[in-house]
Structure 1
Amino acid sequence: MENQKIDNLDKKIINALVNNARTPYAELAKHCGVSPATIHVRIEKLKSLAIIEGTHLRVNEKKLGYDVCCFIGINLKSAGDYPAVLAQLKNIDEVVEAYYTTGQYGIFIKILCPSIDDLQWLLIDKIQSIEQVQATETLISLQNPIHRSIVL
């Protein structure tokens, strides 16, 4: 799919909503120097183009007891194993992101879990037990100092 054409007003709206998705249309209109009706039309256009894909709530995982964040590179037995492994990873609640990648790993996933003991159980009993997984490498995140969306 080619990049969609958006203008400066669209960019202002997107940046404002990335900063706070709950910003009222009237406030966006004032900030952008247009009417609330224009904001409504533009947001609907951005939704119809799938540039805006809903609104999201950000949860502080540590406050909920998820103290371990890690990334796991997964080597597959063969490239054709990707769909089967992905289907099994989707059933593991602790897998919060997955990427099909080039380079050393076929799949790169992000895991959130309460403890190192939970991570060990997850690796042994859930991920490494998937038949098509040849090997894994785990990288534990110590902190996440940058967490943002793209700025237009």
Structure 2
Amino acid sequence: MIDNLDKVILRTLMDNARVSYADIAKNNRVSPATVHVRVEKMRKAGIIKGAKLKVDPRKLGFDVTCFIGIILKQAGDYPRALAKLEALSEVTEAFYTTGQYSIFIKVVVRNIDDLQRLLIERIQAIDEIQSTDTLISLQNPIMRDVGLDALGH
């Protein structure tokens, strides 16, 4: 399990993955080596899976984000459908879900015309897919990493 120092380290790195271990150490009155050891321990435990650069897709010309619920023809079609969806660069996330949809994906495209082409020519053309339901995002007012609040103080 992780202790309070681990939680502080995680919270700090989740806010800014570029902060130095020396700065974290100084703010928490421990040595940089202690921070390094703690981070490595959390990496080995699979708690920390890497550091990512966050990019604003709109600044790169990708103005449409949408979510597509996918109903498969058969439950056994999941692995093949997922492999085909994974090959589409516009698909940024995929979830295997319960309820109405078998798969729920997040898609980012430049415009509505690109979305229409993607849907008709590439997603709905996947043999294993029976039907889709598309929800277009108007804005993303809440965007945060899981864990910041859940870790406590």
Fold equivalence (TM over 0.5): yes
Which residue does 2:17 correspond to in 1?
Answer: 21
Q: Unaligned regions of 5+ residues in structure 1, if any?
A: none
Question: What is the CA distance between 1:33 and its match in structure 2?
Answer: 1.8
Please give the root-mean-square deviation of Cα atoms over the aligned residues, in Å: 0.5
1:7-63, Cα deviation, whole Å (9 max, x unpaired): 111100000000000000000101222110100000000000010001000001001
The 1-side partners of 2:106 and 2:140 are apart by 13
Which residue does 1:118 correspond to in 2?
Answer: 114
Q: Aligned partner of 1:41: which letter?
A: V
The 2-side partners of 1:102 and 1:40 are apart by 40
Q: Aligned partner of 1:74: which letter?
A: I
Which residue does 2:138 correspond to in 1?
Answer: 142
The 2-side partners of 1:71 and 1:145 are apart by 16
Which residue does 1:9 correspond to in 2?
Answer: 5
Identity of aligned residues (%): 59
Equivalent of residue 62 in structure 2, options 66, 78, 96:
66
Question: What is the CA distance between 1:73 and its match in structure 2?
Answer: 0.1
The 2-side partners of 1:39 and 1:59 are apart by 27
Question: What is the CA distance between 1:137 and its match in structure 2?
Answer: 0.2
Q: TM-score, normalised by structure 1?
A: 0.96
Equivalent of residue 103 in structure 2, options 104, 107, 112:
107
The 2-side partners of 1:32 and 1:110 are apart by 39
Is residue 86 from structure 1 mapped to residue 86 from structure 2 by the alignment? no
Aligned length: 148
The 2-side partners of 1:145 and 1:34 are apart by 37
The 2-side partners of 1:100 and 1:32 are apart by 40
Q: TM-score, normalised by structure 2?
A: 0.96
